[in-house]
A = this chain, B = another copy of it.
Amino acid sequence: MDDASHPLHPLFHPRSVAVIGASADPHKIGGRTFRYLKTHGFPGEVYPINSRASEIQGVPAVATVAELPGPVDLGIVIVPAAGVPDTVEACAERGLRSLVIFSSGFAEMDAEGGKAQERIGAIARASGMRIVGPNCIGIMNVLTGMWATFTGSFDYLPPIEGSVGLISQSGAFGVYGSLCVRARGMGLRLWATTGNEVDVDVADCLAYFAQDEGTNVLMAYMEGCKDRDRLVHALELARAAHKPIVMLKVGRSEVGARAAASHTASLVGSDAVYDAIFRQYGVHRVHTIESLVDVTYAAAQGRLPAGERVALVTVSGGVGVIMADAAEEAGLPVPEMPAPVQAKLKALIPYAAVRNPVDTTAQFLNDLSLVQANLEIILAEGGYDALVIFLSSVGVNSRQMAELRPPLAELRRRYPVPPIILSGTFSPEQVPPLEEAGFLVLEDPNRAVAAIAALVRFARTFGAEGGAAPPSPLPAGLPPLPRHALSEVESKGLLAAAGLPVVAERLTASAEEAAAAAAALGFPVALKIVSKDIPHKSEMGGVLLGLGDAAAVRKGFAGLMARTRAAAPKARIEGVLVSPFITDGVETILGVQRDPVFGPVVMFGLGGIFVEVLQDVTLRIAPFGEDEAHAMIREVKGFPLLRGARGRPPADIDALARALSLLSAFAAAYADTLETLDINPFLVRPEGQGAVAVDALIVPRAAAGKG
């Protein structure tokens, strides 16, 4: 990190550190922290502060923050909770540039702790002093030996230098994750646990780490985020810097609970929104610690595949099938070897399967010179973007490994581009030389394929020219939202003004008017009662579909009015809406919900059972471009219906994508005043014929009682 003016610079590159509550006992929290800073090469000043000792572990101590002898970039606060706010105040007065607060007993405990935490936050904002914690386990810059942490685990399995940036909201997980990183032979560069996040949060660290030159992959554990803009900014920075983010965001079960509710509004469970954002920004979300570490490991090597063509090579046919199954599941293409490659491979090992997976049979292992020849053909002429090679148990055979390593290393030198994962059982000592030669080693073949799939997704995210496409532009001069709930007609009017395709329709006041309107619009038509007092029109028989002639329209008009008056005598009826009855559209639902943290979230799903029974919807935060809308459309399980299943023609997916992007721009423009927006159904007609909103309802925040 070159930019010393960055607000987090004093935290991760302090020139001097004060340990407030340093202890003489090197196994106590305040003692271990001080000891770590003195013994891991940190080149700056380290000042112990202890009111009852003039010396700590051989270093002269001062009694108070005020007595610090020089300027201090970072203070580490290890005092009982009750004393923390005053200590923070004193640090601000003394001009400390940043703090890490280990102490717990704040918002995580009770309301009083919450108030104390608020006071700390206020001091941070007023002074500009940046604060990590409270209730955290600390931060580290492994490169400079700046270990501002008290965890005892690092005495047993200390982090080593490397290129991984690890950020964890949970202190316990931060420690555990760093041990997993170390156990996998990886090194850390920057490490942060953010705890209660009174000031610095996971997003701030992601943003800072993304800009750190020596960090090439970001591994994060997150429970939640309170600030949309900080998170989006961080994800944008990481994407622009081509730094993969591997994210373990916990709390999926929430989704299950929310999804159980039947109304689409409840589908915007907040975990689902995180899922949407991560997908949108190319963050690789994982659900297990194992895959968090696997994908970080694969990405840390710095090789991303140029495309998505994967070659699978195996010494066991059965494992070839396992890997092919896994690749199909992960959506990775496993294209056949080009014919000349197949011929050459056959010439080498006559009984080999040479399509892809390439099953070299055990012959490969009986004559290791075949390895080089075999792989060379595939690397030179196969045109693959990544390889997984299953070596079974060769990795425990030290004699064979000694023979195999040099030709493998030579191949890697000559073909340095595609990531290559070696899979199988390896003795621990066999792994580092293979990694140094430029291979990845992942024992389990399914996990190897999953890691390649993650790399392919990162490459796709980073490969998009100039980042994500912008949302479709809105016309100028759209009016503000009224404060009252909009009627269907008003809702559709506003959407039409924004450029969304809305069904042609006329509000009529008499049977004759309705018949005339129907004749003008073209038969068959639909009739619908219009009244703000009747929200669920179809349930009380307020909708008639497929009326084929003027007589049916007249009769229908009269029937609608009679039924409505009977069912809801006090309802104010504005009239009857006449619109063309469209039968060639696929029924979809477009919606916008307000997430308390992330603002407007756009939902897309297919109508009927897809949303209501299968909860088959997908989300994005607004706004987004048509490319993202296309990705959304392809994500739902019902997508085959749009592509033209069941003998239907393919639907106008481009029109649908345009509408979704435009809707997202609309939602973003009205972010402050829009509560919910439902377009249901939005009919997507056959290719080239567009799509139309048939019904829509806009609810402003004010009207929802939240303005």
Contacts and interface: CB of A to CB of B under 8 A. Distances in A.
Interface of A: 108-109, 152-153, 156-157, 168-173, 175-176, 179-180, 183, 221, 223, 248, 250-253, 256, 262, 287-290, 315-319, 321-322, 324-326, 328-329, 351, 362, 392-393, 396-398, 424-425, 444-447, 609-610, 612-614, 637-638, 640-641, 645-646
A153 B613 CA distance: 52
B392 A425 contact: no
A250 B325 contact: yes
B645 A613 contact: yes
B250 A318 contact: yes
21 contacts: A156-B397, A156-B398, A171-B362, A173-B319, A179-B396, A223-B318, A250-B318, A250-B325, A251-B321, A287-B322, A287-B326, A288-B322, A288-B326, A289-B445, A290-B447, A609-B609, A609-B638, A609-B646, A613-B638, A613-B645, A614-B638
Contact of A444 (B289, B316, B319, B362): B289
Nearest to A29: B366
Given A153-B396, A250-B318, A288-B444, 12 more contacts: A108-B351, A156-B396, A170-B316, A171-B362, A250-B322, A251-B325, A253-B328, A289-B319, A289-B445, A290-B446, A613-B640, A613-B646
Contact of A172 (B183, B326, B392): B392
B396 A446 contact: no
A317 B393 CA distance: 38
A171 B317 CA distance: 10
Contacts of A424: 176
Contacts of A183: 425
A94 to B, nearest CB: 30
B175 A393 contact: yes
- Copy count, this protein chain: 2
Residue with the highest number of chain B CB atoms closer than 10 Å, among A176, A446, A612:
A176
B318 A393 contact: no
Residue with the highest number of chain B CB atoms closer than 10 Å, among A156, A288, A318, A319:
A318
B638 A288 contact: no
Nearest to A180: B425
Nearest to A105: B351
Nearest to A271: B325
B638 A321 contact: no
A248 B287 contact: no
Residue with the highest number of chain B CB atoms closer than 10 Å, among A176, A393, A609:
A393
Contact of A289 (B396, B446, B637): B446
Contacts of A322: 248, 250, 287-289
Contacts of A641: 609, 613
